[in-house]
Amino acid sequence: MRGKVIAYSDAEGRGLISGDDGRRYTFLRGTLGAGLRVVRPGQDVDFQVNGDQAQAIYVIDRIGAKSKIAAGVLALLLGGLGIHKFYIGANGAGVIMLLVSIVGLVFAGIPSAIVAIVALIEGIIYLTRTDEDFYQTYEIGKKAWF
């Protein structure tokens, strides 16, 4: 059956799915399929029904609102300006990178080069993470650096 996640608590490891049949089904983290650890409200899922429980839950749409590809490409191309930080919602880190890059020009560009190297490393990290890991680390965990 298909449905939509309407609630999920990572701390409790349980959630609620609204099925296409109009009924609601509870589920536990252990019933998530394909190695998933979390789901987010609003995700479309396919699942099996066992009484009022959803089991063997598979996400139909991709995890996360932010694309790891977009974040990685922004880091590689415009990373020295901190644009990738603004994209993932780490605005404080984005402002720091932007200011260091601008002020760094006064100091022979050395601080700007360091920020660009940090951005290059972050771009590679973003692109090599799985979608779920990127979602967990940067959207749920709100990790700002590396």
**CA 135 to the chain's CA centroid:** 2
Query: Which domains, ranges and CATH numbers included, belong to the chain?
Result: 2-59 (2.40.50.140), 68-140 (no CATH)
pLDDT at residue 139, as a whole number: 81
Question: Cβ contacts of residue 25 below 8 Å, gap of 6+?
Answer: 3, 16, 17, 19, 47, 49, 52, 53, 54
pLDDT at residue 35, as a whole number: 73
pTM (two decimals): 0.62
- Rama region for 138: left / alpha / beta (φ>0; ψ in -120 to 50; rest): alpha
pLDDT at residue 37, as a whole number: 76
Averaged pLDDT in 10-residue chunks for the chain of 146 residues: 93 94 94 80 91 92 75 94 94 95 90 95 94 81 85
Which residue in the block uniquely carries the two structure tokens 């995700």?
Answer: 43
Please list the residues that pair with 4 across neighbouring strands: 18, 44
**CA 10 to the chain's CA centroid:** 14
pLDDT at residue 133, as a whole number: 83
- What whole-number distance in Å separates Cα of residue 41 and Cα of residue 126? 23
Structure tokens at 125: 């990290």
